[in-house]
Amino acid sequence: MAAAEQVLRRPSSAWRKASRFVGARMPKGLFARALIIIIAPMVILQSVLAYAFMERHWQTVTRRLSAAVTQDIAALIDIAESYPQDADYETLSRIAGDRLALDVEMLPPGPLPSPAPKPFFSILDSSLSHELRRQIGRPFWIDTVGKSNLVEIRVQLDRGILRVLTRRSQAYASNSHIFLMWMVGTSLVLLGIAVIFLRNQIRPILRLAEAAESFGKGREIDFTPRGAREVRQAGHAFIEMRRRVERAIEQRTAMLNGVSHDLRTILTRFKLSLALMEDDDVPEIDALKKDVDEMSRMLEAYLAFARGDAGEQSAPTDMGALLEELKADAERAGHATQVAVSGDPIATVRPDAFKRCIGNLVSNAARHGDRIAISAVRDPRWLTIIVDDDGPGIPTDQRDEVFKPFVRLDEARNVDEGGTGLGLAIARDIARSHGGDVMLADSPLGGLRATVRVPV
């Protein structure tokens, strides 16, 4: 039973391997794959037709024509041997020219010429040689290459060498190239039409993908569904989804604004009450003020994380100026900071949100290190910003955990010491809302390296 299962399992395993092999080498784009779907059957069909034509028509016709020419030559040989009194073979030449369209000449006895060079691929050469051997059975020599429109045949007889010249079209189906040219020409025309129609069908799909990507990055785009009915349905579904998402974001933003207003009002009352109270009335008033300030700061962090700055629109932003502002803030806090920008400094991002993302990483580096190095690299596709510090770093096995909300490490490096544990979570959330991500690694300065990479 187990052996039978192994035998049945082998074909499926081989099929999976073959599928993976073919899939890895297939083009990934929809246009290329659709083009293959059209081209492959066309090529197979044309190949089958060409093979059937070559095998069933071209070769058959060529064999029959070669057999007919060989029969005429055999008849001339019989006449020459039956009537030896015609020494000049004038009657033979006249009959061959008038009745058979052959140019016949009797050459003096002697050896046949050396074999002529054979063409690489010639049905005529092989078919005519086969018929001469089968019907005449005498030493012969043929030349199907030397004269483009004529075929020369020499047959060794007892009294000399019979030299025959015939038109190539008499022994060869020479019009086959017309069929092949029509076949190739129509294939190219059909392929061109297919490419044009495919481009028109693929363009709306690419437009839909561009609209979805832009919406994911917070960018506005004027999108109108076009193309086939199914593509239009997908486009209208995307527009409806976008409306629902925007409506949900607006409702959440309105709710958070209301909550933040109410909570800020209460905190303002607390602060006002503490300000009016005398220090002697309550000995713990300083501790209460610190608690209220901490509560206010935590509230702002929670609301910022929940809101996600989703209402802001993307705009071209000067990364050099943004990083210089963050550098000035870090230097005012007493940290030596370096900034380096290479490539075009202008990138399309949500300015406030992206500044908050990089600011959280710089603040995190300033909290745990003394030196900070910020570098930005812009290429045609990506904007990469790297923040290095010389702090204690984060263990490799804990670098994924620190991106979770409210997670703070107790060992080696407390990512949000004295905070809410939302700094890195907010940074990654903003980067991913731009279509990018935040990665952590070891820094050349000895601490942590935070890399923000977003598409531009």
Name the nearest CA neighbour of 452 among 390, 377, 346, 402. Answer: 377
Domain match, 296 and 324 both: no
Question: Could you tell me which residues come within 8 angstroms of residue 201 by beta carbon, excluding any fewer than 6 positions away?
Answer: 34, 227, 228, 231
Question: Could you tell me which residues come within 8 angstroms of residue 305 by beta carbon, excluding any fewer than 6 positions away?
Answer: 405, 422, 425, 426, 429
Domain match, 427 and 352 both: yes
Domain match, 425 and 332 both: yes
Domain match, 287 and 398 both: no
Indicate the residue among 258, 280, 307 that finishes a domain: 307
pLDDT for 39 equals 80
Domain match, 400 and 279 both: no
SS (H, E, C) 313-377: CCEEEEHHHHHHHHHHHHHHCCCEEEEEEECCCEEEECHHHHHHHHHHHHHHHHHHCCEEEEEEE
pLDDT along the chain (456 residues), means of 10: 52 72 70 78 79 71 85 86 67 82 86 72 75 87 76 86 85 67 81 83 85 75 82 88 81 71 76 69 68 72 61 81 90 88 87 87 88 90 91 86 72 46 82 87 90 88
Domain match, 447 and 333 both: yes
Does residue 136 fall inside a structural domain? no
Indicate the residue among 307, 327, 359 that finishes a domain: 307
Domain match, 276 and 395 both: no
pLDDT tens-digit map of 184-197: 788 888 888 888 88
pLDDT for 203 equals 85
Does residue 330 fall inside a structural domain? yes
Does residue 115 fall inside a structural domain? no
Residue 426: give its domain's CATH number. 3.30.565.10
Backbone angles phi, psi at 230, to 5 degrees: -65, -40
State how many domains the chain has: 2
**H or E stretch including 10?**
helix 2-25
Indicate the residue among 307, 331, 352 that finishes a domain: 307
Domain match, 328 and 303 both: no
pLDDT for 8 equals 47
Does residue 254 fall inside a structural domain? yes
Contact predicate 331/374, CB 8 Å: no
Does residue 430 fall inside a structural domain? yes
Does residue 388 fall inside a structural domain? yes
Does residue 364 fall inside a structural domain? yes
Residue 281: give its domain's CATH number. 1.10.287.130
Domain match, 450 and 335 both: yes
In angstroms, how far is CA 438 from the centroid of its own chain? 26
Domain match, 343 and 435 both: yes
**Across the strands, what pairs with 39?**
none
Cα–Cα distance measured from residue 403 to residue 431, given in angstroms and rounded to the nearest whole number: 12
Contact predicate 357/376, CB 8 Å: no
Domain match, 251 and 344 both: no
List, in sequence order, the alpha helices (H) in 217-310: 229-276, 285-307
Place of tokens 């192994």: 6
Tell me the pTM. 0.51
Task: Supply the range of the domain harboring residue 412.
Answer: 315-455
Within 10 angstroms of residue 72's Cβ, the number of other Cβ atoms is: 20
Name the nearest CA neighbour of 406 among 258, 257, 306, 288. Answer: 306
Domain match, 321 and 439 both: yes
Does residue 441 fall inside a structural domain? yes
pLDDT for 415 equals 40
